[in-house]
Copies of this chain bind each other. A is one copy, B any other.
Amino acid sequence: MKLHGYFRSSAAYRVRIALNLKGLGAEHLPHHLRKGEQCAPAYLAINPQGLVPTLENDAGAVLTQSVAIIEWLDETHPNPPLLPKEPLRRAKVRAFALAIACDTHPVQNLKVLARLRELGLPEEKVQDWAAWVNREGLSACETLIRNEPGPFCFGDMPTLADLCLVPQLANARRFGVDVSAYPRLLQAEAAAKALPAFADAAPEKQPDAE
């Protein structure tokens, strides 16, 4: 398989963790987002959104959108599972993941922040925006799992929720958010980062890290 990504993309980071947990190797093809490489015609031909990640499977099929890719990996390589078996528990895990993947990450991604700068917003306000988005999202996430058993987001195994949480916490810190306000999220992050699958997927461990 081939994973088109970028070391700092939190959506690509989610898929790197999933591949590692499933024990699947992939050739990593970095696209430098800050240099606009994701807008090259050859890349847009496989990912018309001009976003990373994109996964090409061994048969050459193209998959986009990190959460869709992870659901596919989980359906085609069921062990270890990234979602619980019981429908209501699956819904809880997905809701937590989507609170990050829908309402948090896309509102503070590179494209949106660039647009804010184009509109004339000073850099300090752009950074404030990103920090605000992260605080809103993580604060809701803290409440969503406050009463869930740990150490992971939902119990004693990592799920799609942890795959979304760990990269988002990295973003939040980068934007200066005081994450000590989210002790339950930090508990889950600590449990996840103790696993090589998470540690090896970290941005600073990638070949294109700067």
A49–B140 touching, CB < 8 Å:
yes
A92 to chain B, nearest CB (A): 8
A49–B99 touching, CB < 8 Å:
yes
Chain B residue nearest in CB terms to A11 = B102
Determine whether A182 belongs to the interface, using a CB cutoff of 8 Å to chain B: no
**A102 is contacted by which of B63, B106, B119 (Cβ under 8 Å)?**
B106
Contacts of A136 in B (CB 8 A): 49
Contacts of A139 in B (CB 8 A): 48
**A106 is contacted by which of B68, B91, B107, B132 (Cβ under 8 Å)?**
B107
Most buried by B among A50, A98, A102, A105: A102
Interface of A: prevailing SS: helix
In Å, the complex CA distance between A95 and B112 comes to 20
Assuming the contacts A75-B87, A87-B76, A121-B119, asked whether A65 and B98 have C-beta atoms less than 8 A apart, the reply is yes
- 0/1 interface trace, chain A 101-135, chain B, CB 8 Å (1 if under): 11101110000100100010100010001001000
11 sample A-B contacts, Cβ–Cβ < 8 Å, listed by A number:
A48-B140, A48-B143, A49-B99, A57-B88, A61-B88, A63-B95, A64-B95, A65-B99, A72-B88, A72-B90, A107-B107
